[in-house]
Structure 1
Amino acid sequence: MAYMLQQYVLQVQTNRSLKKIWVCHCFIFLFFIFFFISKTNAVPISPTIQDICTAKIEKISVAQGSGQTGESFPQSGWRSVEKLPDYWSKEWKNNQKSAWYSIDWTYLCPTNTHTAQQLVIENINMAAQIFLNDELIYQDQYLTDPVSRNWHLPQQWLLPAASLKSGKNQLIIHVIGVPTQKAGLGRLYIGSPQKMQPIYQHHLTEKRTLTILNIMINLVIALLCILVWLFDRRNKSFIWFSILGCFWTMYLIIAMYPKPIFHLNNLQVDQLHLIVFCFYVTFSCIAIWRFAKQKFIVVERALWAFVAISSMTILFTPEHFQPVIHQVIFVLAVLIFVLKCITYPYIAYRSKVPEGYFLAFVQISFLPIAFNDAYYMMTLEGSVLSPYTAPITSLFIGFVLALRLSNNAKRIENFNKTLEDTVRNAQSELSTLLNQQHALALDNVKLQERIHLAQDLHDGIGGSIVRSIILVDHHEHIEKQQMLSILKLLRNDLRQVIDTSASLDTKTPENPILWVASIRHRFVQIFEEMDIQSTWTVAPTWVITPTPLQCLTLLRVAEEALTNIVKHSHANRVEVKLQQHQQQLILEIHDNGQGFDPLLVQQGFHVGLQSMQVRVQRLRGHFEIQSIPTSTLIRVILYL
């Protein structure tokens, strides 16, 4: 046990949220054990002079009462009572209202010094009036419905020496009962205070103190289970255990409370008490099933049907049938509880939950306690053992939490180790992937640069070479000056390609006229040689200044388109138009040549047209070709 508690405390340190709760839990448990040991091992007080006087009960008799307010002491109908406790419901089934008990006892002192005696009664079911030698010495506060409820309350009275007679004395106890409980008188003791006090303390500890501690422990357990459930919503069994603890606490409070509850009469209080017990039995079944991670839908529906039918029967049965109905429903509830305890070991075995085996042992240990307490509740003979179950329940909850915290700590440790290995592997894989991605990015950059350079050479130098070939082709004799002009043009185009590829500070032409000037100068001479009429339409200023890249893209598209017209179209009229519409820069090149199939661009059979389309798409622009046998239109739209 010490080792288990030590391991539990070590595990609690890994979970701060439960640490304070467990300390409180252990404190109440240890306090309970210390209190119980101190009470059971109390040292008897040495006898004094008061022990010299003796009291001895000679005869106990009982007679029926009328049950009416202010009834008088009966003069006949007395019968002898062999022993206490005595409950008259078996003898007088038609009278469950009141009875009179007469206790004849002798009081003897060897000297003339009379000392007070103490009266101890284990329990009175329910309220009472007590007379000593025809003198009223005690009366409960509530003698009419709802009456005081003293059936779990041991009581003591000091009988003053002045009220005692040497020799024969008489105690008259008028007991007022209720229909649904076994009315009567519990064990009675008369003697010196030194002898009676341990007896009274024993009954008080058994019937009140232990039950109050049971209530306190169950409330702490209910709170603990709620907190465990709040921190881990997956453990739904703990919320069921919390509800179970609340209903058991409610059951004990109703049984222990001596005064009327919520202004309910005695019958209504007993009805409420039995209904709470039915709910408790149902919740106890569901709680342990959920703990074993099991659901029995049909059985659970049957249990709720039992609760509903029992509650309706208890509430609406006529009063004179209530005692029988209460006893039948109570027996059924106890049988359900017993069946739950008997069948749970098999359920725990099937669930394979480690903590379930310990709970199965706890359920088996509850069987004799359940039988004993059921017998006590039906006969009020013997003593209840359920108050002693609080330490067992507390120990069970502590064991379960310790085991689950230990398992959780192991799972967390394994998870952390697995996570660490996974992270390490992921880092290694990520480093490899990043290196590969970096290498691919470098290769892609190189490839893009090569593509861009190839496109610039094709659209720039290639176009200039084509134009030069056309000029040479149209002149049979090329003079030196013309050749130098052609070579200078090629040099300028090459310089432009180098500048646009390597320079970061390329500027936008100041206006559209300057942008079109260079390309117009190059192609007008060729168009004149080939008898092609050209029209150039541009705006005098920029509405929105485009970027240098946009200007260069339109320039390359125009060069490639005009070069294709010179090489392939056989056109005699060309129109070049550059305009701005709102935030769009639009270039249109139109000729009246023989046309071509635009699908060749999409299929990649024409490198020049494919290069134009790629350049425009790179700037998120729109490239359009409309071609018929007698006309071709190339339109480029760039968004500013």
Structure 2
Amino acid sequence: MPAHADTLTHLRIEAARSDWQADSPPSAGWIPVSLPDDWSSRWPEFDGVVWYRLSWQQADVTHPVALMLDYLNMAGAIYLNGSLLVRDRQLVEPLTRAWNEPRYRVLSPPLLREGANTLLVRVSGLSQYQPGLGNVSIGDPDTLERLYETDYWLRHDLQLSSLAVTATLGCFFFALWLMRQQEVVYGWFSLMSLTWWWVALNQLVTSPWPFASTDAWESANSIALITYSAAFTMFCVRFCERRLPRLETVLWVLVAVGTAAMLATPHSHMSATRAVLAIAQACSFFTTCLVFLYFAWRHGRTDHRILSICIAIFLAAGVHDLLTFLGILDDNRYYTALTSQLQMIGMALVLAWNFVANLRRIERFNEELNTTVDAARAELANTLHREHELEVANVRLNERLNLAHDLHDGLGGTLVSSIATLEHAPHGIPSGRFLSILKELRDDLRIIIDTASNQALGESSLADQIGPLRHRLTSLLESHGIECRWLIAGLDQCYLPASKSIDVMRILQEALTNVFRHSRASQVEIDLRSDERELALAVRDNGIGFDPAAIQQHPGTGMRSMQARARRLGGTLRIRSADGVTVLDMEVARTETEGHR
């Protein structure tokens, strides 16, 4: 018996088939039917137009009367006593998708007549999509208006808000996933939301655009549904922090097979193919829901259990809609699009909860990291302070060592030569010679002071700095019968830091002092050259020579000092002695910190 029976006053309901282009009902072929009616069970494989005729007696037209249709599937037109009340835009393929739209009209004279009245409903439908007419109510306008507003709210307004929520959440989490692609659960949630948005869009859209046929619309809807189911499974798996590679591969292979099947299925088998895919999708969806519920309450966290409640509600709505889709339930309402709001919001809130929890963990980690960094910074500062103190102490020690070496190589050599002179003729040295010795000591001390205080690069060339030393050493050697020959090239263009200049002069001074003291030579040749690539020093004498190996094993203070200075300069110091010729040479590569003009 039709719903709202207390408001119905019609006496007879009949139906008759017609063709697509018919603008008026047939004159014959009418058979009695009851509402709601699905003509595919009566006329299998019939695609076209069916006219429904409702006749009743109206005793009084002074009281208002209203008409309400729950739905008609797929598109149609309504006539009262031959006058058109409402007509959908597309009554031939592609059909207007008015299957979920309730209709309400107030009937009044002159359309409503006292006595016999006839309501004709022209329905254009396809046998594959449950064509027919829903419940029709004629009665009190206030009662039917309340029923219509409730039905419209369920079928349209709630569906519209569900679409808005689903699209907003899908786009939001899609953007979030683009920014943090390692959070794959956001990506699966956005895919699930956007595919479900397309599925739910079927509840509201009445235009066939952008498709050219009802079959194309239904194929797209079925593909979106199986894709949604697969994305839902992937979301649940990732949300539980699991990976099932083989199962996931099989799942997406089935989605691809189902998509290909829907695209290749002809119209005559569309209903069967959609039913198979709907059952397969439902099995996958229900299995995922049940497994998730078991996992959430057996092994899951609090957020898993909260989400499981939303999924349980959606699961109940899914069972109802599957039975409705398969025609097992005599209903035209689908509730998954409504309960999906609860599920989507629940999922989004759980994801947001986890996101905030992760942010709080990051904030705590940052606080701990800042504390650790502050402690490390303080420890590093103490360490640097201690290292600075050690470095200062080392610098002071190095300065003392350098000063000791300078005194040894400079004043020491002069003192040694002066002592040797006094030892040769202690009573035969004129007083002027003592004054000369003191001036040499003064000049050597001046070299030490000047080179130590001259820190700026390029204040004087190496030739300027080595000139006084050359004069003194030449005088000293020649006064003892040793002929000096100097070969100097490029020193006028050589500018060294003060520390390097004094190292070069001390090596030269120590080498010539050794010639004076130990070689018994009659000739010595000093070759000092500089160019853009290197600085080279060679000291050759014709003395008695020595064993270089013995010197290397047991070097004296002077030899150690020369080797240390050569290392500081970044050069190599070599000594060769054979056949009455002793050669000391050193080569130093030039660097960018040294000038050559």
TM-score bucket of the superposed structures, by smaller chain: 0.7 to 0.9
Cα deviation digits, residues 500-520 of structure 1 (max 9, x gap): 476458997788488344444
TM-score in terms of structure 2 length: 0.87
Pair 1:600–1:372, CA change in 2 (3 A): farther
Q: In 1, are the aligned partners of 2:155 and 2:203 still within 8 Å (CA)? A: no
Match of 2:330 in 1: 381
- How many residues of Structure 1 are paired with residues of Structure 2 in the alignment? 581
Post-superposition offset of 1:76 = 4.5
Indicate yes or no: 2:222 matched with 1:269.
Answer: no
Indicate yes or no: 2:28 matched with 1:80.
Answer: no
Uncovered stretches (5+) of structure 2, i.e. residues with no partner: 1-5
Q: Secondary structure at the match of 1:381?
A: coil
Distance, in Å, in 2 between the alignment partners of 1:224 and 1:555 is 77
After the TM superposition, which of the residue ranges 366-375 and 515-524 deviates more from structure 2? Answer: 515-524
Aligned residue runs from structure 1 range 475-486, under 5 A: 475=425, 478-479=428-429, 481=431, 484-485=434-435
Match of 1:623 in 2: 572
Match of 2:15 in 1: 62
Pair 1:189–1:617, CA change in 2 (3 A): same
Aligned residue runs from structure 1 range 303-452, under 5 A: 303-348=251-296, 352-379=300-327, 381-382=330-331, 383-393=333-343, 395-397=345-347, 399-400=349-350, 403-404=353-354, 406-408=356-358, 410-452=360-402
Pair 1:521–1:208, CA change in 2 (3 A): closer
Aligned residue runs from structure 1 range 592-631, under 5 A: 592-593=542-543, 595=545, 605-620=555-570, 622-630=571-579, 631=581
Uncovered stretches (5+) of structure 1, i.e. residues with no partner: 1-52
Q: In 2, are the aligned partners of 1:129 and 1:140 still within 8 Å (CA)? A: yes
Letter paired with 2:57: T
Letter paired with 1:270: E
Letter paired with 1:150: A
Q: In 1, are the aligned partners of 2:38 and 2:132 still within 8 Å (CA)? A: yes
Q: Secondary structure at the match of 1:162?
A: coil
Pair 1:251–1:493, CA change in 2 (3 A): same
Pair 1:220–1:595, CA change in 2 (3 A): farther
Q: In 2, are the aligned partners of 1:118 and 1:196 still within 8 Å (CA)? A: yes
Distance, in Å, in 2 between the alignment partners of 1:118 and 1:511 is 117
Indicate yes or no: 2:59 matched with 1:105.
Answer: no
TM-score in terms of structure 1 length: 0.82
CA RMSD, 1 decimal: 3.3
Cα deviation digits, residues 424-478 of structure 1 (max 9, x gap): 4223312321231122112111211121012112211222233234434544755
Q: In 1, are the aligned partners of 2:414 and 2:441 still within 8 Å (CA)? A: no
Post-superposition offset of 1:177 = 0.8
Aligned residue runs from structure 1 range 149-164, under 5 A: 149-164=97-112
Pair 1:285–1:572, CA change in 2 (3 A): same
Indicate yes or no: 2:248 matched with 1:295.
Answer: no
Post-superposition offset of 1:273 = 1.2
Q: In 2, are the aligned partners of 1:511 and 1:541 still within 8 Å (CA)? A: yes
Aligned with residue 557 of structure 1, among 494, 501, 507: 507
Pair 1:117–1:599, CA change in 2 (3 A): farther
Q: Secondary structure at the match of 1:61?
A: strand
Match of 1:141 in 2: 89
Q: Secondary structure at the match of 1:138?
A: strand
Post-superposition offset of 1:234 = 3.9
Post-superposition offset of 1:390 = 4.4
Distance, in Å, in 1 between the alignment partners of 2:490 and 2:341 is 99
Post-superposition offset of 1:151 = 0.8
Post-superposition offset of 1:218 = 0.9
Match of 1:283 in 2: 231
Letter paired with 2:252: W
Distance, in Å, in 2 between the alignment partners of 1:553 and 1:199 is 108
Post-superposition offset of 1:185 = 0.7
Match of 2:421 in 1: 471
Q: Give percent identity, aligned residues only.
A: 26
